[in-house]
Amino acid sequence: MRSTMTELFTGLFDDASHFPPGNAPLPESVERHRAHRREWYASLVGPLLVPGGAAQELMDIVGEDADPLRVALIMRPGDDVTELIRSVAALDGHPVVRVAAVELGWHPGWQDLDLNGLPMVLEVGRDEAQYVALNDIRRARRDGVDVIAKYRTGPTSRWHWPDEAELAEFLVNAAERSLPFKLTGGLHHLVRGRYGHSPGAAEEENHGLLNVIIAVAASLGAATHGAVRTMLTDRRGPELVNAVEQLTPAQVTAVREALTAYGCCTVTDPIGELRTLGLL
C-alpha cells in the first residue's frame, strides 16, 4: 500500500457487524473480527463495536485465554446509560477485552457519567440541537476532556437519511470548531449512489466514502457549505479516485485528525472497493 493511502485508511473502519443492517449474532461478530485481524488489511480495521449493555455476553464469548480484543461500547441516543456504566465497570481490568472508547448520544450532564475516564464519542443531532452539542463538546475538549463528536450518515427507524445539505452542514460545523468526529451508518461504498444493503434488498441513496473524504478536506480548507455539498453529490468514480489521490500528505493527516473513524457493518465492502480501484 502506498504510504499516503495507508495513512488515510489505517484504523478508519470500525467493525459494526453486530449492528443493523448486518445484525450478526455477537459470537459471530467476534469470530469475524478475529478473522479480520489475521488478514492483510488488519491495520485498516478499528475496534469491534459492541452494545453498551453486552459486557457479560462478551466475557462469556471470549473467555480468559484468548488474544486481546479491542472493543468500543455503543449506546444509541436516548438509551438508558445505566447498562453502559455497568459494562465499563465489569470490563475494567479484563484479561482479554480492552475497551477503547464509549459511544453514546450527547445529552446535558454527560460529563457526570462514571465511565472510568475512557475516551468518549458523543452522537449529535440535527438543527439547533447540533450547534448546542458541538459547542459543548468543543468546550469540554478545551478543558482537556477526551471526547469527540459523532454523526449518523445512514438511516435508522428514528433517524431519516441526512442528505448532502445536512451532511455538509455537519462537516462545516465541525471544521469551524476544529472538532474531530466519527461517522456511522450508510458508508458501505466509495461513491455516492443507490445501493441495497444486501442482495435483493431495496436500493436506497447512500453517501460515498470518497465523497466524504474530499468533502472533509475541503471543509478543513474553509470551503463553503455549497462547495462541500456539491462534492457529496458527485457520482463519478474515476474523478473521485483522482481527487483522493491528489491529496497532499498534509491534507491526508488533517483529514484523519478530523475524521477519526466510521462504523461499517461489513468492513470488507469498502476495503475491497478501495483495492479494486487501486487505492490500496
- In sequence order, what DSSP letters do the residues of 15-44 get, joined into one string? E-TTSTTT---HHHHHHHHHHHTTSTTGGG
Q: How many CB atoms lie within 10 A of CB 15?
A: 27
**212 or 22: which carries more pLDDT confidence?**
212
80 — pLDDT class (breaks 50, 70, 90) = very high
Q: Nine-digit cell at 143? A: 478543558
C-alpha Rg value of the chain to the nearest Å: 18
Q: Nine-digit cell at 41? A: 488489511
Give residue-wise pLDDT tens across range 1-57: 567 889 999 999 999 999 998 899 999 999 999 999 999 999 999 999 999 999 999
Average pLDDT, the chain: 95
Coil, helix or strand at residue 11: coil
Instruction: Tell me what pLDDT residue 2 has.
Output: 67
Per-residue pLDDT at 188 exceeds 80 = yes
pTM of the predicted structure, to 2 decimals: 0.95
Instruction: Tell me what pLDDT residue 4 has.
Output: 81
Residue 148 CA to residue 130 CA, distance in Å, equals 13
Give residue-wise pLDDT tens across range 120-173: 999 999 989 999 999 999 999 999 999 999 999 998 888 899 999 999 999 999
Residues 6 or more apart from 65 whose CB is under 8 A from it?
96
pLDDT mean over 213-235: 98
Burial class, 128, CB count within 10 angstroms (exposed 0-12 / middle 13-18 / buried 19+): exposed
pLDDT mean over 222-231: 97
Q: How far is CA 36 from CA 13, 15, 52, 209, 266, in A?
A: 11, 9, 22, 20, 11
Q: Which domains does the chain have, with CATH numbers?
A: 3-276 (3.20.20)
